[in-house]
Structure 1
Amino acid sequence: MANDWKIRADAYKAQVLASIPEAWRLKTKPSGKDVRHVAETSGILTPDEVQLLARDATQLAADIAARKFSAVQVATAYCKSAAVAHQTTNCIMDFFPDEALARAKWLDDELERTGKPVGVLHGVPISVKDMVALKGRRISAGYLGILESAEGVSAEDAVITAAFRAAGAVFYCKTTNPQAIMHLECDSFLGPTLNPFNTDLTPGGSTGGEAALIAAGGSVLGIGTDIGGSIRNPCANCGLYGFKPCASRLPKSGNMSGMPNQETIVGAIGPMGVSARDMELFVKVQLDAKPWKVDPSVVKMPWRPEEVEWVGGSKPRIGVQWHDGVCVPQPPMRAALRMAVDKLKAAGYEVVEVQPRKTWEAWLLLKELYFTDGGARVRGEAARTGEPILPLTEWVMTGATEKTPTQVMELVRQREAFRKDYAKYWESLNIDVMLLPAMPGPANVLGTSKYWLYTAFYNLVDYPGAVFPAGVQVDPKNPEHARDEPREYLSEDDKRTAEEYTPEKFENAPIDLQIIGGHWEEEKVMEALKIISKVVNP
């Protein structure tokens, strides 16, 4: 039967929905496109549970350790809120509240027995992206065929989830990622995940399920991965904080890659959440666990923020890149960046303009590096069930051809030459970090996300980056958010991006800005994130 895969996919979606207790199910469909606060107003959570959702992970950990409330109370609140978030955004691919509550009860009992927390994340709920392994739970990489195979249940924790479990975290759900894990959206055999700010828009990708869940109040801290923007893009689309380290700084062993064992471009793993300090909490927990002892791909670099030195002296010297030379940002992004620069200058920070360098060349190289098999694995995985190759999957593979070993070596040579050239350019700038758009604009309309270079460029050069909410949402009444008049365009992508935008279409969508630092300068980016985000969006 031609649509047999669809029948099985729908059955699995129904199974996920059935894992939500009846008392946590919405009785009526929410009205309006903004569904961020449905959990809070649904009556499913108690007033005390709603209050729990207002804390970041750092505060939650401190309050649980101080016995202001129990791990069971926190887990119950987040399981309920996640259940509602899934019903409004389709963001969860595996939900296991009973397992979470049993774990939380054990943590409460241990705190009572020993008088001290199991670890620094004692009782803190953490949500997990589909492709990140969690023992005994489902994994699909966005393919029904993998979900239904022996690979579809993880035998062991990934190194990163094992470290969080040892630190006392509570796992309760896994979130959606797109087919092939290679969209800046989140669509697969499970259907599209929606943006809680405006359900006509995408939450981004590939870690879109995490972003939608966190933005809807269903998680406080999530695990994301990033090979082209997959932490920074969804966090930006959903008004969150996100942090992408260099590819070898945090452990990825045990995860399921979209292109396993391909090392031409290697993804990073990192946090997504609601505060700058939670980004550091996540990273510090991981590096304190010394992951290089069990994951040989991780460099032996403990967390050392005390070693940060600013070229600007007592304050960071900040570069600003207004656009990337290929695609001019849409009006709300430009307005947010101007506002941020004005605030930083008013606060006494030196801000200097930075010109883009070889942006389009970077994209042409990235397209070759992403799919050295010409897309054979992607097509093979889809063929296992007959599920179709989705339009954005086809788009990102456009022009990909299978490479010989000699051709792969030549591509790696070009990659290294590009990185060396950019490193020399970066050094000449004499800046600590660079502030720039996170994307060309707010979240895209579903199915239209086709510009990666504001984020993917920094995967190519392997520089750390972070995004943070600028405190701006698209407002049709704001004259700074009005659509541009026709102009001379830098490229076809620039023209398409300009023509796609109207403030009415993107109403309420949040705007994030991005911070980039030099290679291996994660600590500097993290310190800059805390400083800049506090000035721009206190």
Structure 2
Amino acid sequence: MNAALSRNEGEGEPIRADAQTTFRSLIEGDRLLTAEELSIVEESDDATQLADHIARGRRTCVQVTKVHLKLAALLQQACGPYSEIFFDAALKRAEELDRRSEKAGRLFGVPISIKAHISMEGTGSDRGFVFDVLRPEAKRRLVDELEKQGQVEESIISLLRKQAEHLGSSNAPMVDKLLSEGAIIIAKTRMPQSVVQLDTRSNLHGQTLNPLNMNLSPGGSSGGEAASVSAGATFLGLGTDIGGSVRQPASCCGLYGIRPSVGRIAVAGINSTMPGNEGIIGTAGPFAKSRRDLELMMAILASGSHNVDPFLCPPIPWQNTEDVELPKRKLRVGVMYHDGHVEPITPIRRTLAHVVEQLKADGRVEIIPFDAEDAGVVAWKLARELYCFMESGQLIKSLANLTNEPLVPLTRYICETSPVKNHSAAESWELQYARETFKRQFWKRFGSSSSSSSPFGPDAKIDVLLCPAGAQVAPRPGKIWYWGYTSLFNLTDLPGVVFPAKNFVADSKADLQYEGREKGRTQSNEALDKQNKEEYERNREVFDGAPVGLQLIGHRFKEETLLKSLELIEHAMKH
């Protein structure tokens, strides 16, 4: 199997794997699973079905866990998604669950994974930095030495001293909720150096690859999660999202993923790279293979959030989506083809155009064009300055410099390109004022034409917004520079769900034919737009077979109605 690998940990171009090499083709070609093991892997389409099989006694937790640990070990060799695999602990938990007389819990016996920086007692919690895995006493010595040099602001030194220990002393509330439902956490997954990029590469762990096309990245920063679930090693995953880090990798790996409104899920217990910075607040969200699994995960994670963190989370109980009522009129679906900054590449435009035609043919949907105007340009500049770069990226650079590790190219890109600068307090206030102004202006185009914020009212302009999940499909490793199609909605704090446009993939021949008959394309002289186009057009065949995901945006704190709308849209797509 190793001969087919393309995981390059250096600075240069990734080595080409065989055309459209997939993880599944490797394990089937080398017969790395027995017939019995393959049957266990293939008999459950999603976590809901697997939990039912275990509850009915068709499979034991130990049987399932052993196979998925083996699959995870093979996937680690091929694509490198994990920071840790819990072989002994996962089997011990599976044995304990099998001994229970009552097979209770909505995730009973289901193998899942969580992102590395989510706290779990006794496990590592790194953010892709070498510094993170050092012993506490070594960290203290390095920070003391940095302070003596007097070259870094005292405020940065103070933040470095507060960095969490590598090994978690307790579980994040999210983890406890999943365990209480009978889940078996078999692994923690990798993220890129610094977390803030849409690829998964670090000096600590190397480059993670996409199991659906090993020439490509699974995206980021929750790329390890997406790779694990997409390959079938785990059935569900838990990631975080501050600029697209759940939605973009879900799109890259053919999965469902959701970024809920800030406060819908209690996010205590995350080792952040930007502690105390509330320019844009991150949140957490699940990965799943089916819409019903995504709804199940949200029901578990959102339940009781107010009791865990009453200061961030409003007291909004989760409503079962089957109880959500959509409007009696047609569902008003706004469509944003272009964010006004960077045009999506051809397979995304081709897919979105086809889906819109399917929706137009359905009597339950009304399509409303949504002109982003300059929203993409304004939002990208604002978001770049509001992330962890208000202090010109000093904290991220210091975390790397403490151990003399180099910044990987995408970390360097995001930390050193305009408009990154060291902002004064007054400039920070001005940025946050601009953020709030932009949010209100965007809401006027997206939300109700009255003062009511309730979706689905008779005067609502649009109920949901359909748009790309990114300007690229799964990128080549190290070749993704623009987050605007996801970070726009982190900036405005509107919930978004990504879903696979099934039966649509990047196809160089079909894309060329589509370009030949396409009309009304937006011309742009933006450097990022040109860079994005050239990356695709020079490497068309490399992307063949990459899945295409689309994004559906809803109203704040209305995740249930967003998921119900997605159900209608997916049914309409089969029209």
| TM-score, normalisation: structure 1 | 0.90
Moved more, 322-331 or 49-58: 49-58
Structure 1 position 97 matched with structure 2 position 87: yes
Instruction: For structure 1, list consecutive stretches of 5 or more residues without a partner in the other structure.
Output: 1-25
C-alpha displacement at 1:434, in angstroms?
1.0
Asked whether the 8 Å contact 1:310–1:317 carries over to 2, the reply is no
Show the 5 A alignment for 1:231-242.
Answer: 231-242=246-257
3-state DSSP of counterpart to 1:128: strand
Q: Decide whether aligned partners of structure 1 residues 507 and 273 sit closer, same or farther in structure 2, where only a CA change above 3 A counts.
A: same
Matching residue's letter, 2:133: L
Q: CA deviation at 1:455?
A: 0.6
Cα distance between partner residues in 2 of 1:531 and 1:286 = 24
Deviation, structure 1 residue 91: 0.7
Aligned to 2:534: 499
Written as runs of structure 1 = structure 2, the 5 A alignment for 1:194-233 is 194-233=209-248
Q: Is the 8 A contact 1:359 1:453 kept in 2?
A: yes
Change (3 A) 1:315 1:276: farther
Q: Deviations over 1:67-90 (max 9, x none)?
A: 111111111121111111111111
Q: Could you give the per-residue CA deviations for residues 213-252 of structure 1, whole angstroms, max 9, x where no partner exists?
A: 1222211100011111100111111111111101211121
Match in the other structure for 1:468:
499
Of the three residues 48, 70, 81, the one matched with 1:80 is: 70
Paired with 2:430 and 2:548, the residues of 1 have a C-alpha distance of 39
CA 1:73–1:120 in structure 2 vs 1: closer, same or farther (change >3 Å)?
same
| TM-fit CA distance, 1:450 | 0.5
Compared CA separation, residues 162 and 468, structure 1 to 2 (3 A) = same
Partner SS for 1:478 = helix
Question: Deviation digits for residues 310-367 of structure 1, max 9, x if unmatched?
Answer: 45x2552211111111122211111100111111122222111111142211111111
Given that 1:310 and 1:432 are in contact with CA atoms closer than 8 Å, whether structure 2 keeps it comes out as: no
Distance in 1 of aligned mates of 2:337 and 2:510: 20
Deviation per residue, 1:232-273 (Å, 9 max, x gap): 111111111111101211121001112112111011111112
Paired position in structure 2 for 1:51? 39
SS at match of 1:325: coil
1:350 corresponds to: 366
Note closer, same or farther for the CA distance 1:422–1:108 as it changes in structure 2 (3 Å cut). Answer: same
1:347 and 1:76 mapped to 2: Cα distance?
45
- State whether residues 359 and 457 of structure 1, in contact with CA within 8 Å, keep that contact through their aligned partners in structure 2: yes
User: Residue 85 of structure 1 contacts residue 217 of structure 1 at CA under 8 Å; is this kept in 2?
Assistant: no
Deviation at 1:44, TM superposition (A): 3.3
CA distance 1:258–1:537, shift in 2 (3 Å): farther
Q: 2:176 aligns with which of 136, 152, 162?
A: 162
1:407 offset after TM fit, Å?
A: 2.7
Shift in Å, 1:41: 4.8
Structure 2 match to 1:145: 131
**How far is 1:210 from its partner?**
0.9
User: CA 1:149 to 1:535, structure 2 compared with 1: closer, same or farther past 3 Å?
Assistant: farther
- The 5 A counterparts of 1:207-356 are 207-288=222-303, 290-296=304-310, 297-304=312-319, 305=321, 308-311=324-327, 313=328, 315-348=330-363, 349-356=365-372
Residue identity opposite 1:424 in structure 2: K
Change (3 A) 1:338 1:292: same
1:435 aligns with 2:466: yes
Which of 119, 124, 127 lines up with 2:105 in the alignment? 119
1:457 equivalent to 2:488? Answer yes
Are the aligned partners of 2:355 and 2:573 in contact in 1 as well (CA < 8 Å)?
yes
Kept in 2: contact 1:194–1:200 (CA 8 A): yes
Deviation of 1:402 after TM superposition, in Å, equals 2.5
Q: In the alignment, does 2:96 pair up with 1:106?
A: yes
**Which secondary structure state, in structure 2, belongs to the residue aligned with residue 477 of structure 1?**
helix
Q: CA deviation at 1:306?
A: 6.1
Matched, 1:536 2:573: yes
Q: Secondary structure at the match of 2:284?
A: strand
| Aligned-partner Cα distance in 1 for 2:464–2:117 | 31
Alpha carbons of 1:505 and 1:62: their partners in 2 closer, same or farther (altered >3 Å)? same
1:396-411 residue pairs with structure 2 within 5 A? 396-397=414-415, 398=417, 399-411=419-431
Instruction: Report the CA distance between 1:483 and its aligned residue.
Output: 6.3
CA contact under 8 A between 2:2 and 2:77: conserved in structure 1? no
State the one-letter code of the partner of 1:507: D
Question: In 1, distance between residues paired with 2:571 and 2:90?
Answer: 34
- In the alignment, structure 1 residue 511 sits paired with structure 2 residue 548: yes
1:366 is aligned to 383
Where 1:120 maps in the other structure, the secondary structure is coil
1:390-429 to 2 correspondences below 5 Å: 390-397=408-415, 398=417, 399-427=419-447, 428=449
The corresponding residue for 1:182 is 196
Question: Given the two structures, how large is their TM-score scaled by the length of structure 2?
Answer: 0.84
Distance in 2 (CA, whole Å) between partners of 1:482 and 1:142 is 40
User: How big is each residue's C-alpha offset from its partner over 1:462-484, in whole Å with a ceiling of 9 and x where there is no partner?
Assistant: 00001111121112232556667
- Distance in 1, matches of 2:171 and 2:28, equals 32
- Counterparts of 2:206 and 2:113 in 1: how far apart (Å)? 20
CA deviation string 1:180-227 (max 9, x = no partner): 100100111211111122222211000011111122221110001111
Residue identity in the other structure for 1:441: Q
Q: 1:154 to 1:537 in 2, by over 3 A?
A: farther
Task: State how far apart, in whole Å, the 2-side matches of 1:356 and 1:85 are.
Answer: 40
Structure 1 window deviating more from structure 2 (420-429 vs 371-380): it is 420-429
Deviates more, 1:88-97 or 1:190-199: 190-199
Q: Give distance in 1, aligned partners of 2:23 and 2:309.
A: 38
How many residues end up aligned between the 2 structures? Answer: 507
Say if 2:404 is the partner of 1:386.
yes
Residue 521 (1) aligns with residue 537 (2) = no
Q: Determine helix, strand or coil for the equivalent of 1:269.
A: strand
Q: 1:376 aligns with which of 382, 390, 394?
A: 394
Q: Percent identity between the aligned chains?
A: 37
Match of 2:510 in 1: 478
2:28 and 2:266 mapped to 1: Cα distance? 35
Q: Read off the aligned partner of 1:70 and give its amino acid letter.
A: T
Question: Structure 2 CA distance, aligned partners of 1:291 and 1:214?
Answer: 25
Query: In structure 2, what is the Cα distance between the partners aligned to 1:41 and 1:342?
Result: 39
Distance across 1 between alignment mates of 2:285 and 2:492 = 17
Assess, with a 3 A threshold, how the Cα gap between structure 1 residues 479 and 226 changes in structure 2: closer, same or farther.
closer
| Pairwise CA distance, 1:490 | 4.9
Task: Give the CA deviation at 1:487.
Answer: 8.3
Match of 1:171, SS state, is: strand
1:378/1:489 Cα in 2 relative to 1: closer, same or farther (>3 Å)? same
How many angstroms apart in 2 are the aligned matches of 1:260 and 1:364? Answer: 21
Q: 1:27 to 1:191 in 2, by over 3 A?
A: closer
Measure how far apart 1:505 and its partner are. Answer: 2.5
- Secondary structure of the residue aligned to 1:505 is helix
Q: 1:285 to 1:41 in 2, by over 3 A?
A: farther
On the 8 A contact 2:326/2:565 being kept in 1, the answer is no
Two-structure CA RMSD over aligned residues (Å): 2.1
